[in-house]
Amino acid sequence: MTKIKISHPTGIIHKTIHLASSKSESNRALIINALCDFQCDIQNVSTARDSVTMQRLLKSDDETLDVIDAGTTMRFLTSFLSFKGKEKTLTGTPRMCERPIALLVDALRSIGAEIDYLKNEGFPPIKIKGLKTQISNKISIRGDVSSQYISSLLMISPLLPKGLEIELTGEIGSRPYIMMTLQMMSEFGIKYEFVENIIKIKSQKYVTNKFYVESDWSGASYWYSIAALAKEAEIELIGLKKNSLQGDAAMASIMDKLGLSSEFKEHSVILRKNKNIEKQIKIDFTDCPDIAQTMSVICGALGSKLTMTGVESLKIKETDRLFAIKNELSKINVSVNEVIINEAYEVNNKALFSEIPIFDTYDDHRMAMAFAPLALLHPIIIENPDVVVKSYPSFWNDMKIAGFEIENI
């Protein structure tokens, strides 16, 4: 396992950063393109490992497809391969095989797909035998677990002989990701209805089209953190839209409360520091769970009390992210406490550095990038830094562009 030591000599950053492409948009576009027999023109596709894996597996003739640790790839391919009727085995890393997939499998089985579990019930690896006959056009699925299950079903639904009607039960989590899927599908000619908790898509054909993938707002969140913790900062992030399809674009309005303004240009956003730092902030991460780690670190560094709700899904990500955040923030005197009464988590205290902290990344790309900006306050060490290849392969190089000193140790 490698380690890197990170520091910044001045704490002053005036730079332009060309952000990595959105993994979320890329993976949806790749599935839609495959459903169009690869006739679409998809531009600016992410070079993140998850998207590279998706591209490779969509064209693979192998009987067993290994998604590695790509949860989106696992879920999207489960529906895609079921529709295509190809007999395939889907597997992944040991952690991937601990992440549940039963809700998606049950939904696909209910419309006629044959899928078997090869080891533990409800978890990968799975054997997909295809959907030979559609026996129903209605599915009921919980809306509060993972929007990826829903997006996976949505993308194949227009090509099903009877179309599909999906009823989302309970609270609907990560709604922006569902809307991203639907809006991207509409870019390729698909008409849909989404009224209250029911999505209806009639049987229809995709229209081949050109699609340009936006830069990644999840990746942008780490630059918001960097700008917030710098002594002085003006950072231009290239490739972002004000009216983005991505839920993590909420970062712009959230950070306005924590000392950072966002000026949107035609193809970029400029981050500047201001003095409006609120000492208490409450955020519902239901629609943007991927920025919860980043916000926990920012608030701990600034000494702002953060109350987090809508974060239960973090327990089934690449690692148990709530556990990981609590462990690592404790190394700098910041506590994360569960508040049972309102299903919330509170981040308290201001970061203190008595020595160089060593942060574990738990094989989780977002842990590495969320904690890296703390190097503006004090030198830090990050273990297993290569995990960033999952979503933002150029992250460490971009940090060097911004003046960070990074040393292998």
Active site residues: 290
Query: Interior CA angle at 397 toward 224 and 53, to 5°?
Result: 90
* Among 40, 35, 74, 37, residue whose Cα is nearest residue 54: 74
Show Cβ contacts of residue 289 under 8 Å, excluding neighbours closer than 6 positions: 173, 174, 310, 311, 313, 314, 317
| Cis before 176? omega within 30 | no
Taking the C-alpha atoms of residue 88 and residue 63, their distance in angstroms, rounded to an integer, is: 5
Taking the C-alpha atoms of residue 327 and residue 75, their distance in angstroms, rounded to an integer, is: 29
* Among 162, 167, 221, 156, residue whose Cα is nearest residue 366: 221
Q: Which amino acid is at 314?
A: L
Phi/psi at 119 (nearest 5 deg)? -135, -85
Cα dihedral 282, 287, 292, 298 in deg (nearest 10): -60
3-state secondary structure of 310: coil
For helices 71-84 and 102-110, give the axis angle rounded to 10 degrees: 20
Contact in structure between 199 and 192 (CB atoms under 8 Å): yes
Cβ atoms < 10 Å from Cβ of 102 = 13
Q: Which helix (H) or strand (E) holds 167?
A: strand 164-169
- Interior/surface letters 117-153, b for 16+ CB within 10 angstroms, e for the rest: eeeeeebbbbbbebbeebeebebebbbbbbbbbbbbb
Q: Is 43 exposed, middle or buried (0-12, 13-18, 19+ CB in 10 A)?
A: exposed
